[in-house]
């Protein structure tokens, strides 16, 4: 039986059939032929999710060879591609024509098919929306009975809203159209602030005055990375983008894991607390240097060749903006307490993404308003310790009204998603059950989460 393993080796699947789709007919044949291709049938992009949302022990359809650009319409500013194309390759094709995505997401290896129907987040390019699927204007898919279907904002906005968070449960997407725009440059500044001095008024002002914002936390220092738009990137742009990519691709996780493995415990604790920290030094230096400038598409990172020792994992829970500061401080205290009890602490900076209100998809985590997230990031040396931490963090986050992402928040429970998405979870569950009554696309991961 073939084995499929995710980015950091934490998730694997052994489907009885692994179909490498080369055409729409390949997908249709597999979906229709229930004898040869056992259920559940799951579409698979790059298998970069942090949950087993794409996994099946029946049939998995690997979309990576359906990776053609179909059209770039510079007049109407649209981009159409097959579902298996990765964002990084789409990005290169657009850049050759001085165009870019509306949202240049960090993760270059996400396929456009997954981007169209899964949760995603970006805080630095999300001037309007921070979710990639919100910029999808049309898609085509193979339905659970093997028939072809399509929708667009023009033809059926209601169906588009459902499909944008369908996770391959309502159809296997083989073609996606996005809104695009002319290429632009970005400038990021870095403002370090002691966590205990922050006030709600200061956080509000930072959020209100940024085009995009991420807060990185090292020890008890919060570093606010703010996006500002500029006209030209300057000659340092490409170089600075390369340094930044290298940090995500290699240095950050490598450093975290090395600290975990080789340092004596007291030195390690001091480093992880930020008493002496490379990351903090870096952020201070970036602050003093006035920030960095790059072209927006350079924000997207290709994790393809990242060596195993430099890979990292994370989780993401979104909180209503007005509740964030209190929850964030409570989280830092909770993490300290957790460390005292278990000896486990995350070895990379904590992330927090600001994402604006967006009702484009049924399961949008910003449906009810702006959010600011809390994202523990870690380069695991002990997978069990990280998994146990994630479950504890889920309880913490759910009790405080957080919202998880189904592909990026491992180990969430049915009660947690019901609480997070409320009535919309029932609507989603009903739509899945009525569109796919035999459960052709329903894997155990979603079966455990959906409401009856
Ligand atoms: C190192 C790293 C960094 C990351 N950074 C970010 C980030 O900055 N922002 C962010 O939002 N995410 C990030 N992610 C998470 C990742 O982008 C998402 O989990 C994304 O869904 C992965 O895309 P994929 O193509 O690998 O999809 P998969 O993991 O293969 O599939 C995800 C889901 O989509 C379904 N699916 C896939 N293709 C199709 C299709 N053609 N039709 C229908 N359904 C389909 C699958 O069945 C599954 O349910 C990161 C992940 C890693 C490992």
pLDDT digits (tens, 9 = 90+) for 334-383: 999 999 999 999 999 999 999 999 999 999 999 999 999 999 999 999 99
- Specify the DSSP element, H or E, that contains 221: strand 221-230
Mean pLDDT of 327-332: 98
Under 8 Å between Cβ of 213 and 227: yes
Ligand 1 atom closest to 303 (CA): 1
Average pLDDT, the chain: 91
Q: Distance from the CA of 163 to the center of ligand 1, in angstroms?
A: 15
Contact partners, residue 80, CB within 8 Å, separation at least 6 = 69, 70, 71, 72, 73, 138, 175, 176, 177, 178
How far, in Å, from the CA of 288 to the mean position of ligand 1? 36
Helix axes 423-435, 414-421, angle to 10 degrees: 110
pLDDT band at 158 (very low <50, low <70, confident <90, very high): very high
* Three-state SS at 292: strand
Number of H helices, E strands in the chain: 14, 21
> pLDDT (tens digit, 9 = 90+) per residue, 86-114?
999 999 999 999 999 999 999 999 999 99
Indicate which residue's Cα is closest to atom 17 of ligand 1.
110
**CATH architecture group of domain 1-183:** 2-Layer Sandwich (3.30)
Joined together, the tokens standing for residue 133 give: 């699927």
Q: Whose CA is nearest to atom 6 of ligand 1?
A: 107
In the predicted model, is pLDDT for residue 261 greater than 70?
no
Which residue's CA lies nearest to atom 44 of ligand 1? 168
Q: In the prediction, which pLDDT does 247 show?
A: 62
CB 135: neighbour CB atoms within 10 A?
21
For residue 166, give both structure tokens: 């369908």
Boundaries of every domain in the chain: 1-183, 185-415
Ligand 1 centre distance from Cα of residue 324 (Å): 26
Model confidence at 238: pLDDT above 90: no
Q: Which atom of ligand 1 is nearest to the CA of 63?
A: 41
The first and second tokens of residue 385, run together, are 């310790």
**Lowest model confidence (mean pLDDT) among 211-220, 224-233, 320-329, 338-347:** 224-233
| Pairwise CA distance, residues 141 & 133, whole Å | 15
**Residue 402 — φ and ψ, nearest 5°?**
-75, 160
**What pLDDT is stored for residue 275 in this prediction?**
47
Distance between CA atoms of residues 137 and 115, nearest Å: 12
- Test site for ligand 1: of 8, 90, 114, 165, most ligand atoms within 8 A of the Cβ: 114
Percent of the chain with pLDDT over 90: 77
Q: How far is CA 390 from the centre of its chain?
A: 16
Q: Quick check: 277 pLDDT over 90? A: no
Q: Is the pLDDT confidence value at 11 over 70? A: yes
For the chain, the first-to-last Cα distance in angstroms comes to 32
pLDDT at position 52: 98
The predicted-structure confidence for 108-147, as pLDDT tens digits, reads as follows: 999 999 999 999 999 999 889 999 999 999 999 999 999 9
Can you give the pLDDT at residue 352?
97
Atom number in ligand 1 closest to CA 131: 11
CATH number of 185-415: 3.30.70.2520
Say what the pLDDT of residue 293 is. Answer: 83
Q: Who lines ligand 1 at CB under 6 A? A: 7, 42-49, 53-54, 63, 83, 105-107, 110-111, 113-114, 117-118, 120-122, 167-168, 172-173, 303, 407-408
Query: 172-200 pLDDT, tens per residue?
Result: 999 999 999 999 988 889 999 999 999 99
pLDDT in tens, 17-67: 999 999 999 999 999 999 999 999 999 999 999 999 999 999 999 999 999
Residue in 19, 41, 54 to alter for ligand 1 test, most ligand atoms within 8 A of Cβ: 54
Q: Which residue has the tokens 């927090």?
A: 352
Place of tokens 């990242």: 306
Ligand 1 centroid to 173 CA: how many Å?
13
Q: Report pLDDT for 256.
A: 57
The string of pLDDT tens digits covering residues 384-427 is 999 999 999 999 999 999 999 999 999 999 999 999 999 999 99
How far is it between the farthest Cα atoms of the chain? 64
With a pLDDT cut of 70, the percent of the chain lying above it is 88
Q: Where are the alpha helices (DSSP H) in 125-248?
A: 157-163, 200-208, 237-246
Question: What is the distance in A from the centroid of ligand 1 to the CA of 340?
Answer: 34
Q: Which atom of ligand 1 is nearest to the CA of 167?
A: 49
- Residues in CB range of 76: below 8 A, 6 or more apart: none
Following CA atoms 119, 125, 127, 128 in sequence, which dihedral angle do they give, to the nearest 10 degrees? -30
341: enclosing H helix or E strand: helix 324-342
Residue owning the nearest CA to atom 11 of ligand 1: 120
The 3-class secondary structure across 61-109, one letter per residue, is EECCCCCCEEEEECCCCEEEEECCCEHHHHHHHHHCCCEEECCCCCECC
How far apart, in Å, are the Cα atoms of 53 and each of 18, 85, 174, 264, 300? 16, 19, 18, 38, 23
Which helix (H) or strand (E) is 201 found in, with range? helix 200-208
């Amino acid at each position: 039986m073939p084995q499929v393993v995710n980015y950091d080796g934490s998730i694997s699947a052994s489907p009885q059939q692994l179909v490498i789709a080369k055409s729409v007919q390949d997908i249709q044949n597999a979906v229709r032929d229930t004898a040869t291709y056992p259920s559940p049938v799951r579409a698979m992009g790059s298998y970069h999710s942090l949950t087993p949302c794409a996994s099946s022990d029946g049939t998995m359809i690997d979309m990576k060879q359906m990776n053609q650009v179909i059209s770039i319409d510079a007049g109407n500013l649209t981009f159409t591609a097959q579902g298996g194309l990765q964002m990084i390759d789409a990005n290169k094709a657009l850049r050759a024509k001085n165009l870019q995505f509306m949202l240049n997401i960090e993760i270059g290896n996400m396929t456009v098919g997954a981007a169209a129907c899964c949760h995603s987040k970006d805080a630095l390019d999300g001037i309007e929306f921070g979710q990639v699927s919100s910029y999808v204007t049309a898609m085509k898919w193979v339905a659970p009975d093997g028939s072809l279907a399509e929708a667009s904002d023009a033809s059926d906005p209601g169906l588009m809203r459902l499909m944008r968070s369908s996770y391959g449960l309502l159809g296997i997407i083989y073609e996606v159209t996005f809104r695009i725009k002319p290429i632009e440059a970005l400038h990021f500044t870095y403002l370090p602030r002691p966590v205990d001095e922050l006030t709600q008024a200061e956080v509000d002002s930072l959020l209100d005055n940024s085009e995009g914002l991420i807060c990185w936390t090292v020890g008890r220092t919060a570093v606010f990375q703010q996006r500002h738009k500029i006209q030209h990137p300057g000659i340092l742009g490409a170089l600075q983008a390369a340094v930044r990519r290298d940090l995500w691709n290699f240095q950050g996780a490598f450093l975290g894991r090395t600290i975990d493995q080789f340092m004596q415990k007291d030195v390690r604790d001091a480093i992880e607390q930020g008493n002496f920290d490379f990351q903090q030094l870096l952020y201070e230096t970036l602050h003093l240097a006035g920030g960095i400038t790059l072209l927006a598409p350079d924000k997207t990172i290709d994790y393809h060749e990242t060596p195993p020792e430099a890979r990292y994992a994370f989780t993401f829970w979104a909180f209503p903006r007005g509740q964030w500061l209190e929850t964030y401080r409570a989280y830092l205290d909770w993490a300290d307490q957790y460390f005292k009890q278990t000896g486990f602490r995350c070895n990379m900076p904590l992330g927090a993404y600001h994402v604006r209100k967006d009702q484009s998809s049924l399961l949008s985590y910003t449906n009810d308003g702006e959010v600011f997230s809390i994202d523990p990031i870690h380069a695991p040396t002990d997978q069990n310790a990280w998994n146990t931490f994630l479950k504890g963090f889920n309880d913490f986050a759910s009790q405080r009204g957080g919202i998880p992402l189904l592909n990026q928040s491992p180990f969430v429970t049915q009660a947690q998603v019901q609480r997070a998405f409320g009535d919309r979870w029932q609507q989603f569950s009903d739509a899945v059950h009525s569109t796919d009554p035999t459960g052709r696309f329903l894997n155990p991961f979603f079966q455990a989460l959906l409401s009856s």
